[in-house]
Chains A and B, each alone.
Chain A
């Protein structure tokens, strides 16, 4: 069973700080990695995708992938109260077609 693990939180950070969200996965041979943001009562919104080892930056967001250690992380710089949401990690495993396996999400709270 392919698995994706996240700490459920809540992770609390002060406004302006860097929020660091982590995700580990069970299969060393995996293809694609995604971070979704989900506000309470709403559907997930894709914010980052990463396919190769290293860092990928998009505005205040940076995704980091380390396939050897089987983890992917999301950094949010200059955190804002509007970043308060649940962040879902999703992995497309090799041989799994285009199916995504989701973690249970980490709740982020950005405090004033």
Chain B
């Protein structure tokens, strides 16, 4: 089955710890994205990558970091510098740089206490 996987589904961390969220896709999509969603709010873009070994900051990149070493993988690290890390994190991908339709993974719900 082709699709986007995110792991884990739920993640709990203590304040001050860095945590890495996994995102893998086997759709052969070039572009990948990370969003966060807070209750009652729309999706906000954290980082995106249109090609391997290249990525750009989105609207709320502070306190986050990413890498894109493989086409299939786009992990997101939530660092201790992120002031309000508790949120629902969504990874998405799209066919190529010129196509805007994005498809989402199932998400990771991160709780930091």
A-binding residues in B (CB < 8 A) = 31, 33, 35, 40-45, 48, 50, 56, 58, 90, 94, 97-107
The reply to whether the CB of A100 lies closer than 8 angstroms to some CB of chain B is: yes
Task: Tell yes or no: A46 within 8 A of B by CB.
Answer: yes
Q: Are A98 and B104 in contact (CB under 8 A)?
A: no
Choose one: A4, A42, A104; the contact of B40 (CB below 8 Å): A104
Name the A residues within 8 Å of B43 (CB-CB): 44, 88, 100, 102
Contact B100 A92 (CB under 8 A): yes
Q: How far is the CB of A11 from chain B (nearest CB, A)?
A: 16
A98 touches B98 (CB 8 A): yes
Q: A43-B106, A43-B107 are in contact. Are A88 and B101 (CB under 8 A)?
A: no
Do B102 and A46 touch across chains, with their CB atoms under 8 A apart? yes
Contacts of A34 in B (CB 8 A): 100-102
Given contacts A32-B100, A44-B90, A98-B50, contact A103 B105 (CB under 8 A): no
Closest to B105 in A: A43
